[in-house]
Amino acid sequence: MANQKSHKEANKESGLEEKVLFVNRCSKVVKGGRKFSFSALILVGDHNGRVGYGFAKANELTDAIRKGEDSARKSLIYFEQEGTTIPHEICVEFDGAKILLKPAPEGTGIVAGSCIRSILEFAGVKDVVAKSLGSNNPMNLVRAAFKALSMLCNRQKTMEIRGSTS
């Protein structure tokens, strides 16, 4: 119990919030009956440009969630934002999942499916339009979304690199 308490206190100190995106139960038939194992996909973010995900497996659901949270904290990424939206349109493919993210005017909100919506909310993006064009596998959608967020680049820095001033 003491370990759980310190774990929750660490979350409050770092300002990170976590959410269980997907839980899968697997069963194996053995001599004494069925043996269950669980896998959990966890999302962690601070609603201010920092977000991460973790995937873990364990024989108990609570252990899988705890391991996923630890993994998510280790994989936190920062990405470029332009006000309340993303700097540019991006289309990314990961395995069978293909997602399209488009910047939207202020006040639009997040127009996206459940997994991508959660990621963008935890990341702190307020106005964006997203569309899943391929697979609906949650793990692949999450990986595609993180790939897209990590590929975003700032317009000003890009212009400076190119040597353009317009």
108 token code pair: 């639009």
CATH of region 80-160, choose from 3.40.190.290, 3.40.50.460, 3.30.230.10, 3.40.50.170 = 3.30.230.10
* Tens digit of each residue's pLDDT (9 = 90 or more) over 77-102: 998 888 899 999 999 999 999 999 99
Residues of the chain with CATH 3.30.230.10: 80-160
Task: Please give the CATH architecture assigned to the domain spanning 2-77.
Answer: 2-Layer Sandwich (3.30)
> Where in the sequence of the chain do the CATH 3.30.160.20 domains occur?
2-77
Compute the distance between CA of residue 117 and CA of residue 120 in angstroms, rounded to an integer. 5
Q: Read off the pTM.
A: 0.85
pLDDT of the residue at 9: 53
Which pLDDT tens digit goes with each residue over 36-89?
999 999 999 999 889 999 999 999 999 999 999 999 999 999 988 888 999 999
Reported as a pLDDT band with limits 50, 70 and 90, residue 2 is very low
CA distance 97 to 142: 9
